[in-house]
Amino acid sequence: MVPERRRPPEASSKSSSSMMSESPRNLKPGLPFIPFDSTNLWCGDGHGRSFLEFSPPLVTQSNGLFGPDRETKSKNQHEPSPVMDWNPRLMLSNLSFLEQKIHQVQDIVRSIISREDQFLDQANELAAQQQLVTADLTYIIIQLISTAGTLLPDIKNALLSTNPAVGRPGSNQKQHEIVPVEVAKASQHDSLIKDLNSCGGKEDGLIKCSNNSGVEASEPIPIEDPDTKDNDDGMDGENLPPGSYEVLQLEEEEILAPHTHFCLICGKGFKRDANLRMHMRGHGDEYKSPAALAKPSKEASIEPQPIRRYSCPFVGCKRNKEHKKFQPLKTMLCVKNHYKRSHCDKSYTCSRCKTKKFSIIADLKTHEKHCGRDKWICSCGTTFSRKDKLFGHVALFQGHAPAIPMDDAKVLVTSDKAQVSEASSGMPGNTTGYNFSGNTSLDAQTPDIKGVDDGHGCFSPMILDACNIWGLTEFPHSAYEVSESTFSFLATGSCNSIQRNGEN
C-alpha cells in the first residue's frame, strides 16, 4: 500500500528532468493512480460505509469523493452509467501512462548499456541507475495490477446489486479495511497487492512475489495505523501456537517509511490515519461528514479480527518467520522499533558521553535523561544510576558501603596519616620526620597526597576522588622510581610533618 504511494514521487523526482518529459500532473505525487484501487482499498471503509449500506448510488458518490479535483470531466462521464464503476477513459490514460513509463525505463536501460564502459569506474552510479530501474519496474507492476484491480470491484458491485446477500458481512470471512469484494477475488486481489508490497524495491522480491502470490493469500494489507495496533495490544500474543495467527512481513522501505498515510489529493504524508482524516477536511465539505471523520476500524472490529503478527524482513533474525524459534512481533510499532534497533545504523549519538549510539531518537532521549548520572557509587567501585539500586547492592553484600564520591578517600588517608603519627609517636627519638625510604604502598601514596596538602589537612578532592572510586588503595606505586621520587617526597613530606607536629 504504502510503497505505491511513496515510490512514484521519489522515482519520478529522481529520474525526472533529464530523462523524460512528463506532464506536470504526473509529477504530482500519487495523483494519477488514485482512481482505481486505492480509494476502494483503504479509504473506502475509512469513510464509514458499512457493507450493508453499500449501494450503487453511494458508490458513485463516494467514488467521486476520492478525486474531486482530479476529474471533473470523468465525473461527468460517470453519470450516465452509475452502475459501471470503472472508467474506460481513465483506464486508457493509465495504460498510456504505463506505456510512457515503460519507455522511460527502456531509455534508462539503453543509456546504461551505452555507457557500460564508463560505469566500470563509477560503480556507485551504476548501482544508482540499477536501483532506479528496479524502482520503476516495481512501480509499473503495481500500476498494472491496480489498474486491473479496478475491474474487480465492479464485478463485485454488480453481484451485490443483484444478490446483496453474498456481500453480507456475516458471510464474509475477510473482514477488514478493504472494500468488500467477493471473497475469492478479494483475497486474490489482496495477495497480489500484498506480494507487491512485500517485494518492495528489491529485485529478489520480484521473484518472490511471483512465487508466493497464491500462498500467503490470506493476508490483507495492513493499515499502518497506530489505531489498529490498539486491537493487537489487547491480545496476548506471546504464546500463540504457530498456526493460530497470520504472519505479515513488511519490507524495509515500508518499515522505514516516515509516513504511512497519504492524502489522495495533495499527496501529503501522515503518520496517523486520524491526522490524515483531519487533513482531508480541508479538501472539501464532503470530508467533514461524521461518517468521513469516523475511525475506520471501529466497524470492522465488529467481526473477530484474525490474530495478526509481524515478521522482521531480516533473514536470520529471530523475529524473521524463517527462524526456527520464530518470535513474531506484536504490532507494527514493534516492527519499526525492532528493525531500527537491530538492523539499522545507530545514527544518534549521545551528546554527553559521546559513546552511546541509538537508532531511535526516543531511545537517545531516554538515555540522555540518565547519562552521566551514575553518581551512586559503592565502595567496591560499582556505580549505579539510582540510589535504591545502590542501597539494594549494599544490603546484599557484606562490608560494602556507599562511597561518598569525593571524601571517602580523604577519610582513608587521614586514618593512614593517623597511623603514621601513631607510629612516629611510638618512636620517641624520631621527631625530624618520617622515614620514607623503606616504605611501601603507604608512603607512595601518602607523600604524594601531602604534595597537594595545603598544610591544613585539606586535600585536593580530585586526586583522592580517583584514588577512592577506583579502589586504588593499592596505588600504582610501581610507577614511582624508589631512587629519586621517594627522596623528593622525603623533602616535602618531612617538611610537612614537622609543620604538623608544630601545629599539634
CB of 371 to another protein, least distance (A): 22
Q: Which stretch binds another protein (CB under 8 A): 28-36, 118-126, 383-391, 489-497?
A: 383-391
Residues in the interface with another protein (CB under 8 A) total 26
CB of 197 to another protein, least distance (A): 53
CB of 274 to another protein, least distance (A): 42
407 grid coordinates: 571524601
Of the two residues 427 and 491, which places its CB atom closer to another protein in the complex? 427
Of the two residues 92 and 404, which places its CB atom closer to another protein in the complex? 404
Residue 246, phi then psi, degrees to nearest 5 = -90, 145
Of the two residues 376 and 480, which places its CB atom closer to another protein in the complex? 376
182 grid coordinates: 467477493
Angle between helices 123-149 and 2-19 (to 10 degrees): 130
* SS3 state of residue 248: strand
To the nearest 10°, report the CA torsion of 396, 398, 402, 404. Answer: -170
* SS3 state of residue 158: helix
Of the two residues 23 and 419, which places its CB atom closer to another protein in the complex? 419
The DSSP call for residue 205 is H
CB of 489 to another protein, least distance (A): 22
Place of cell 493476508: 219
Of the two residues 100 and 385, which places its CB atom closer to another protein in the complex? 385
Task: For the chain, give percent helix, strand, coil, nearest 5.
Answer: 60, 5, 35
Of the two residues 160 and 409, which places its CB atom closer to another protein in the complex? 409
- Alpha-carbon span 497 to 473, nearest angstrom: 22
CB of 381 to another protein, least distance (A): 16
Q: Tell which positions 384-443 bind another protein, by CB under 8 A.
A: 387-388, 391, 394-395, 399-402, 404, 407-408, 410-411, 414-415, 418-419, 421-422, 425-426
Of the two residues 83 and 411, which places its CB atom closer to another protein in the complex? 411
- Alpha-carbon span 349 to 368, nearest angstrom: 10
Of the two residues 58 and 401, which places its CB atom closer to another protein in the complex? 401
Of the two residues 101 and 410, which places its CB atom closer to another protein in the complex? 410
CB of 271 to another protein, least distance (A): 41
CB of 457 to another protein, least distance (A): 6
CB of 391 to another protein, least distance (A): 5
Q: Tell which positions 438-457 bind another protein, by CB under 8 A.
A: 456-457
Do 225 and 173 meet the contact criterion of CB atoms below 8 Å apart? no
CB of 353 to another protein, least distance (A): 24
CB of 412 to another protein, least distance (A): 9
Angle between helices 441-452 and 482-503 (to 10 degrees): 60
CB of 454 to another protein, least distance (A): 13
Do 56 and 82 meet the contact criterion of CB atoms below 8 Å apart? yes
Q: Tell which positions 29-68 bind another protein, by CB under 8 A.
A: none
Bridge partners, residue 308, by sequence: 246
- In sequence order, the 6+-apart residues with CB closer than 8 A to the CB of 352 are 368, 371, 372
Of the two residues 271 and 393, which places its CB atom closer to another protein in the complex? 393
If one asks whether residue 79 binds another protein (CB under 8 A), the answer comes out as: no
Q: Tell which positions 456-485 bind another protein, by CB under 8 A.
A: 456-457
- Alpha-carbon span 423 to 473, nearest angstrom: 20
9 residue type, one letter = P
Of the two residues 68 and 461, which places its CB atom closer to another protein in the complex? 461
Q: Nearest-CA neighbor of 198 among 207, 186, 189?
A: 207
Q: Sign (positive/negative) of CA torsion 478, 479, 483, 486?
A: negative
Do 460 and 407 meet the contact criterion of CB atoms below 8 Å apart? no
CB of 233 to another protein, least distance (A): 32
Of the two residues 271 and 400, which places its CB atom closer to another protein in the complex? 400
Segment 93-98 long-range contacts (CB within 8 Å, at least 24 positions apart): 93/32, 94/32, 94/33, 94/35, 94/36, 94/143, 94/147, 95/147, 97/26, 97/32, 97/143, 98/140, 98/143, 98/144, 98/147
Residue 54 host element (H or E): none
Residues of the shown chain interacting with another protein in the complex, contacts defined by CB under 8 A: 387-388, 391, 394-395, 399-402, 404, 407-408, 410-411, 414-415, 418-419, 421-422, 425-426, 456-457, 503-504
